Amino acid sequence: MKSRGLGDIFNPSSIAFVGASQSTEKAGGRRWKTIVDAGFAGKLFPINASASSVYGHRAYPSLRAVGTEVDLVFLAVPTEYVAQAVEDCASVGARGIVVISGGFSEVDEAGRALEKEIVEKASSFGARVFGPNCAGIFSAPAQYNALGWDVPPGTIGLVSQSGNIALDFAEMAQRSRIGFSRYTTIGNAADINTADLIEYYLSDSATRVILAYVEGFGESEGRAIFEMVLRAPVKKPVIILKPGRSETGRRAAMSHTGSLAGEDRLVEVAFRQAGIVRAYDVEEAWATAAAFATTADPSVPGVVVLTDGGGHATLFCDTAGLAGLPVPPLSEKTTEALSALLPARCALGNPIDFAGVAEGEPEIVPKVLDICLSDPSIGTAAIIGHLGGYHKLGGPKLAPREILAAQEIAKVSQTSGRPVHVHSVHANSSLPAIEVLRSEGIPLHRSIEVSARVIANIVRHAMPARHERPDAVSVSCPADAAAIIRAARNGDEAWLQEPEARRLLSAWGISVPPWEVVETLDQCFSAARKFSGPLAMKLISRSLVHKSDVKGVHLNVSPGEACARYEQMIRQAAELSLMSPRVLITPMIEGRAEVVVGAYRDFQFGPVVMVGIGGVLIEVLKDVAFRMAPLSPDDANGMIAELKGSALFSGVRGRAPIPIRPIADLLCRVSEMIAATPDIAEIDINPVIVSESAALIADARVVLAAPAAHEAADGSSDHVGR
């Protein structure tokens, strides 16, 4: 349990602050002030070498002078004093240490060493460390705020790899009056990292929604988050703002947090598979979290759009379409009810255009809303335009009517149990009707495009496409497969030669075309006799990694020629001084298409599987799809469908379709192999020849993990799942 000890940090009974002062110009001073102001109910111990009291609390010259147990200690002292202060934390039995001070791994190697020393020291007496170089923590249930800036309380759990992005969210939270259960910045994350906090939040009863800003994951951290979100017994929305889509951004992340942004397409698929909402900008991240915090999940995906004007409706629908959010037609019953209510000039499709009616008669909005929300294909409503400011155009008499309309809108949403979002040109204002909606927890949007993307995020989270979020899969390694790997390990092999790779695939139940390995001319005679039709012959040797580099592959050899070719290959092997050369003989395979199937172990995300379509599509267009391994059949179908060239399989220009089932089966098995076998670093099956009935393996390569590396990364488990 990596989140061990976080409970004590978020719910301490006592807090000490080393570096507390009265000066808000200092990091320690302004944080001490917000700690005191937030109304923490436990004991507070400001530590200040010279003052006798700080901001109304008796001060102590050092931690050692406190003389009682302290659960949580904040350190805001010069870098050179941090190590001693951590030592002192042992004397008060601290469970958590939050190092605000900077000057560690973000600066140089000496700082990195010091950082490591601090964490080891803390861990020696059982304390967890936040930071160093972090901005602080806020915990709403415990009523403490060690940030130095205001953070409103609420139900969103935040973890941020950047203090300034956290500050940005706090400003948005204040404006929208939706707040945080816990609010953390992890600084250099020398001990406690993003995964630990997400794990804690997932089981934290104070937290309803999880929001994270992540520049990069540590070793296996992406995998850990993927697994915990996928397998969480209580499902909570997890929204992650994750840059790293461009090289410029990846470089900036490296210079900021030293993080490897990672392969962005892996981030994308891992999040999608686990049901993590990926946000693409700060506003979308916040607005999505805020909407999750106050609204119920929609029961069906369709959204109805109620608009003051067609321009906003067009922009909303355009974004909805790009985001995959359906704006379905309304039922006949709904349309009839609407036409009894609205004049002929109003468009009654979806979007519904009020065409000026609402602007003069705001009470029409909740009435129309009520009718629409009982339509069976509608799960969410979006009211868009300039509600709240109608009176700015139509005169002050409208203001109280807008307030009533806002109250009714909230009531209709409440009664129907269906979420209603309001976009308004005035959404950022304090106009009275806007304030009503805000206080009723109706999500308010200033940007029409963000409103559509937020609703799309929520709908997709509540109702993912079938192949997006399949059930978790568990697998274990068959005994004979494990034996093949063990033999290679014992023989100090770095990779499996093709015959062993073929045997390994067979052990996993993957059908491999018939083949023979021959080591003598006599064996070659009997193999050649066994096969009819043209053959492929390949030279095999431990000292030969790339067979084709030395012309070690011969295709379309007739059975009659096989033995002569064998002699020639063995001569060649002798000339190259190859170790224990053998020749693999297998019939040539014909098919309709070639695919490439691969798997590898990613530093951040662990076992990953890949598929691509051979030829120009993979060579020129890098048309490949990835998924976290192991795969369910739905995952496998989904990743094949995601290929740009997948139309090839459904039949192009009148050609017969090619069934994808055999490819999907192969992907599933390969994904299980990599997931269940930490010894495997990489599997490369290229090409796979696909016919109407089968996906036939024509070549395979398995690279073994460096022994030390795989133990560090995966332990010795032979059972992995997702």
Cβ atoms of 192 and 199 within 8 Å: the answer is no
Sequence letter at residue 319:
T
Region binding a second copy by CB under 8 A among candidate stretches 6-14, 193-201, 288-296, 643-651: 643-651
Q: Does 557 bind a second copy (CB under 8 A)?
A: no
DSSP codes, 287-300: HHHHHHHHSPPPSS
Residue 4 engages a second copy in binding (rule: CB under 8 A):
no
Which of 386, 421, 547, 601 is in the footprint of a second copy by CB under 8 A?
A: 386
Sign, CA torsion 533/539/545/550: negative
Order of strands across the sheet that contains 72-75:
43-47, 14-18, 72-75, 96-99, 128-130
Residue 61 or 400: which CB sits closer to a second copy?
A: 400
User: Cβ 702 to a second copy, closest distance in Å?
Assistant: 24
* Interacting residue with a second copy among 120, 281, 590, 711 (CB under 8 A): 281
Cis peptide before 443 (omega within 30 of 0): no
Q: Closest distance between a second copy and the C-beta of residue 258, in Å?
A: 10
Which 67-106 residues touch a second copy, going by CB under 8 A?
A: 102-103
Identify residues 651-680 at the interface with a second copy (CB under 8 A).
652-653
Positions 250 through 279 that interact with a second copy (CB under 8 A): 250-253, 255-257
Binding a second copy by CB under 8 A: which of 123, 124, 246, 543? 246
CA distance 331 to 336: 9
Within 590-629, the residues that bind a second copy by CB under 8 A are: 615-617, 619-621
DSSP annotation string for 68-103: S--SEEEE-S-HHHHHHHHHHHHHTT-SEEEE----
Q: Site size for a second copy, by CB under 8 A?
A: 94
- Among positions 215, 500, 679, 714, the unique one binding a second copy when judged by CB under 8 A: 215
Secondary structure E strands in 641-721: 680-690, 695-697, 700-704, 719-721
Nearer to a second copy, 384 or 597 (CB): 384
Half-sphere exposure of residue 154, counting CA atoms within 13 Å on the CB side? 26
Q: How far is the CB of 6 from a second copy (least distance, A)?
A: 22
Q: Which of 349, 417, 657, 707 binds a second copy (CB under 8 A)?
A: 349
Tell which positions 139-178 bind a second copy, by CB under 8 A. 148-149, 160-168, 171
Binding segment toward a second copy, per CB under 8 A, in 393-401, 403-411, 432-440, 530-538 = 393-401
Write out the H or E segment, with its range, that includes residue 596: strand 593-602
Q: Does 363 bind a second copy (CB under 8 A)?
A: no
Minimum distance of a second copy from residue 643's CB (angstroms): 10
- Quick check: 339 binds a second copy (CB under 8 A)? no
CB 445 within 8 A of CB 423: yes
Footprint of a second copy on residues 298-337 (CB under 8 A)? 307-322, 326-327
Rounded distance between C-alpha atoms, residue 226 and residue 27, angstroms: 35
* 166/518 with CB nearer a second copy: 166
Q: Quick one: 4 or 26, whose CB is closer to a second copy?
A: 26
Count the Cβ atoms, other than its own, within 10 Å of residue 490. Answer: 8
Please give the single-letter amino acid code of residue 408: E
**Can you tell me the distance from the alpha carbon of 472 to that of 643, in angstroms, rounded to the nearest whole number?**
23
